[in-house]
Chains A and B, each alone.
Chain A
């Protein structure tokens, strides 16, 4: 399994797609950095305004970063198994004294390690740029640590889903499925937050909120993003981003985190099972 993980990691480094993503990331960070530097020049002095505005800027950056990471993980893992099967490479690998679940786990660890490293750098870069250009918000280590973990969990869930798809379907089919599920979770999250904002006005928006909850159960990535937001932008009992459309709304409960953990493990188990039963 270690061998497969090592070579999967190396393969990712060799892929031109990664270099392309890295270049685009640098471009994004440069543009984002320029934008927030200009914006922070006009930041109000009053902290009751400056802190929420700083939070908004950071949240916007992290929202887009999560999108980039999601697409990187989909692009790099949709063909992790099916691509090797389609090209014929897998035939020579699977006749070696390894179990098929080890192949799945090796791919998971190899891609997961690289994507997590990338996501962590991106996450910290966004926080650093904001702090460097004058964000009026203070984070403690625990906040950064746990919110970073949640931020990294999003691509890990997507990776598990892509591996399950890749173990059963073609690369194209897996890619389409993963993008649709991720988009489904995003839209569901938006519906839930709109419902939440409507309910703040005293009106019932149960339908919208339930639609969001169902979408989180189908793909919990947006719930994790909201939980990350609540951890990062909460100070005591005050949640600064509650009314934010990108990551606000009701804070996902600990049960949603337990569900997301069980979801990740179950999907990864199904990936290993499907791959074990698949004719190559």
Chain B
């Protein structure tokens, strides 16, 4: 596990923050951490990177305790409220942070990253003259300096235009291909939906759901199949697989609990001799799920499975 938290709690004078967080993030995952404003997302990230001291519980990052200096050499962090020394140029900011990481051959690495985030040609300008979007790009380049095994991105596209967002998404996908782990803290659901493998949702400081993103979406959706005249016993067989089945004319709606049930349903229909004309998933957008959960939808999690 790259990240493991055990009842991790960080509160401010007994209020706010995050409470009793139990998370696990595996290597090579893009893990989305969602929640409304003020839910405790940034508090958890800042606790994981060692900026805040937990009030209870423990956590391990890359197998070491929180705040371990050796681990810090392997993580990158783009803060939500990114700010860099505005009296420096972009290049100087990169050099400063590269020196803190003790990176060898830093000039080459710096120019590669400035190119990657689209800041080539702007590196000799003072950071004070950068737009917010440019500063966020610079922050991303700084976070990537050490070629980190684990990257924490706290609202990485909040100041970016649509093109910038796509570029960041591509960078995240590229990192995933390289086997890096990304902890993405965001409330931009479409962004999370496009890049994340697993997600956790936090509300009022507590994790209210976590698991495989596709399974979570499926749990909040239903399958609709359009079939010919059903063979005798088909609906009974489908009821054994699905949580509930509802037939209306040539359409059958089914609620299933896991993705693996979809091919089984198709197979059951075809093997019964019933013509299968169409199979589609309805509902189940992350936005719907998010709103449902945050507004008090019944949920519990066991880390791997999500029940809604």
Instruction: Type the 1/0 row for A1-44, where 1 means its CB is closer than 8 Å to any CB of B.
Output: 00110010001001100000000000000000000000000000
A11-B85, A14-B87, A91-B81 known; A96+B53 contact, CB < 8 A: no
Is B49 on the interface with A (CB-CB < 8 A)? yes
Is B75 on the interface with A (CB-CB < 8 A)? yes
**Residue among A93, A96, A277, A280 with max Cβ neighbours from chain B (10 Å):** A96
**Contact for A94 among B50, B101, B139, CB less than 8 A:** B50
B50 neighbours in A (Cβ, 8 Å): 94-95
Is B83 on the interface with A (CB-CB < 8 A)? yes
CB of A98 to closest CB in B, whole Å:
6
Q: Check if A88 sits within 8 Å of B83, measured CB to CB.
A: yes
Name the prevailing secondary structure of the A interface residues: helix
**Contact for A92 among B99, B102, B142, CB less than 8 A:** B142
Interface size class of chain A, counting residues whose CB lies under 8 Å from the partner chain:
20 to 34
CB of B117 to closest CB in A, whole Å:
15
Q: Check if A95 sits within 8 Å of B75, measured CB to CB.
A: yes
Q: Check if B69 sits within 8 Å of A279, measured CB to CB.
A: no
User: In chain A, residues 81-139, which have Cβ atoms closer than 8 Å to a Cβ of chain B?
Assistant: 87-89, 91-99
Q: Check if B97 sits within 8 Å of A96, measured CB to CB.
A: yes
B101 neighbours in A (Cβ, 8 Å): 96-97
Q: Check if A96 sits within 8 Å of B79, measured CB to CB.
A: no
A7-B96, A279-B51, A279-B53 known; A92+B72 contact, CB < 8 A: no
Q: What CA separation (Å) do A107 and B84 show in the bound complex?
A: 17
Q: Check if A280 sits within 8 Å of B69, measured CB to CB.
A: no
Considering only CB atoms, which chain A residue lies closest to B53 in the complex?
A279
A98 neighbours in B (Cβ, 8 Å): 69, 72, 100
Q: Check if A97 sits within 8 Å of B79, measured CB to CB.
A: no
Is B3 on the interface with A (CB-CB < 8 A)? no
Interface size class of chain B, counting residues whose CB lies under 8 Å from the partner chain:
20 to 34
Considering only CB atoms, which chain A residue lies closest to B74 in the complex?
A97
Is B77 on the interface with A (CB-CB < 8 A)? yes
Q: Check if B79 sits within 8 Å of A92, measured CB to CB.
A: yes
A99 neighbours in B (Cβ, 8 Å): 69
Q: What CA separation (Å) do A279 and B50 show in the bound complex?
A: 9
Q: A14-B87, A95-B72 are in contact. List 14 more A-B contacts (CB 8 A).
A: A15-B87, A88-B79, A88-B82, A91-B77, A91-B79, A92-B82, A92-B139, A97-B70, A97-B73, A97-B102, A98-B69, A98-B72, A277-B53, A280-B51
Interface residues of B (CB under 8 A from A): 46, 49-53, 69-70, 72-73, 75, 77, 79, 81-85, 87, 96-97, 99-102, 139, 142
Interface residues of A (CB under 8 A from B): 3-4, 7, 11, 14-15, 87-89, 91-99, 277, 279-280
In the assembled complex, 22 residue pairs joining A and B whose CB atoms fall closer than 8 Å, in A order, are A3-B99, A7-B85, A7-B96, A11-B85, A14-B87, A15-B87, A87-B83, A88-B83, A89-B84, A92-B82, A92-B139, A94-B51, A95-B51, A95-B72, A96-B100, A97-B69, A97-B72, A97-B73, A97-B100, A98-B72, A98-B100, A280-B46
